[in-house]
């Protein structure tokens, strides 16, 4: 019984090592995902896209587990240097 378990264990170990080596080789040969090149926009070009409008009034009312505080926001917040 012990010799059968050793034989099965060696076969399973060899199969796992071969699969790991194949995975590593396939990752080395793949050059990553191919994404289309993003065209850069500069201010001297004409803007041809429609404007985007984000509004916090379309958000469903949220049920807070506690009373609303000064840090609770309805639609998120933004910060930055203008």
pLDDT single digits (tens) 5-53: 888 899 999 999 999 999 999 988 887 777 888 888 888 988 887 877 6
pTM of the entire structure? 0.38
Average pLDDT over residues 55-60: 60
45: which DSSP letter? Answer: S
| Distance of alpha carbon 13 from alpha carbon 5, whole angstroms | 12
The residue with greater pLDDT, 78 or 42, is: 42
């Amino acid at each position: 019984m012990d010799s059968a378990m050793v034989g099965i264990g060696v076969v399973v170990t060899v199969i796992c090592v071969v699969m790991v080596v194949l995975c590593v080789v396939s990752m080395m040969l793949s050059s990553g995902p191919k994404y289309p090149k993003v065209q850069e926009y500069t201010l001297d070009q004409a803007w041809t896209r429609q404007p985007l409008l984000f509004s916090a009034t379309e958000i469903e009312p949220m049920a807070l587990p506690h009373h609303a505080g000064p840090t609770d926001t309805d639609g998120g917040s933004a910060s930055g240097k203008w």
